[in-house]
Structure 1
Amino acid sequence: MGSSGEGQLSRRERQIMDIIYRLGKASAKEVQDNLPDPPSYSAVRALLVTLENKGMLIHGKESRRYIYSPAINETKARNSAIKNLLSTFFNGQPKNLVAALLDENDSTLSQSEIDEIRKMVDDK
């Protein structure tokens, strides 16, 4: 996957990856049909090619259409994105990420979400 990958995806590219992970595989038309406020068909095709060039998708042919599927599984992609996030913004330290999530001045977490996180940590 190299230096590109899930950490450098645009909002639209992340939406497309979410759709393809959810469906397992999809044509450009199926992706377009599942996108909120979808761009043109040709724009969707261009985004799919971009994602393929980034190593996120592969394609095969069914009849006369290209069918896109993930090049890497969702867990690997998520782990790669988390590593990128940690190294870019949190000095590679998971505790710095958790501290940012729990910052009272900047947090969007509810008390019940914080309690759930505390339970997950305790369970580990």
Structure 2
Amino acid sequence: KIANIARLLEAVEPYEQERVGKVKERITDALEKTLSVDYDKNRLEQELIYYIEKLDINEEKQRLSNHLKYFISTLDSGSGQGKKLGFIAQEMGREINTLGSKSNHAEMQKIVVQMKDELEQIKEQVLNVM
């Protein structure tokens, strides 16, 4: 299940750049066609950078990857780790949820749902060993 989440995390990457391009396109189209407003291109670029930074998921991906590794190392360290594994799974859930809320892309959201499904199965297994 952990390997499945790691694989799904890698599957998110192709959609990241596509997502940024679509956001830029959607905003410029709205300004030019819908609002018919003359705008400062430098200001637009500043606003786009700000908006894209809010959608950046690199930190969440890194933290989730670290949690996955930590889960495996905790699992390998021996018995009596049930509660700790539960806490790590909870942290993984937080990162997956943040990925979902920042995704702004249908395919990425489908991947996030798959990650959540895998994580729920992990949580069930952890509860069985506690």
For the aligned pair, the TM-score class normalised by the smaller chain equals under 0.3
Ranked by relative contact order (alpha carbons within 8 Å, sequence separation 6 or more), the top structure is: 2
Query: What TM-score, normalized to structure 1?
Result: 0.26
Instruction: Please identify which structure carries the higher strand content.
Output: 1
Instruction: Please identify which structure carries the higher helix content.
Output: 2
Query: What TM-score, normalized to structure 2?
Result: 0.25
Higher-Rg member (1/2): 2
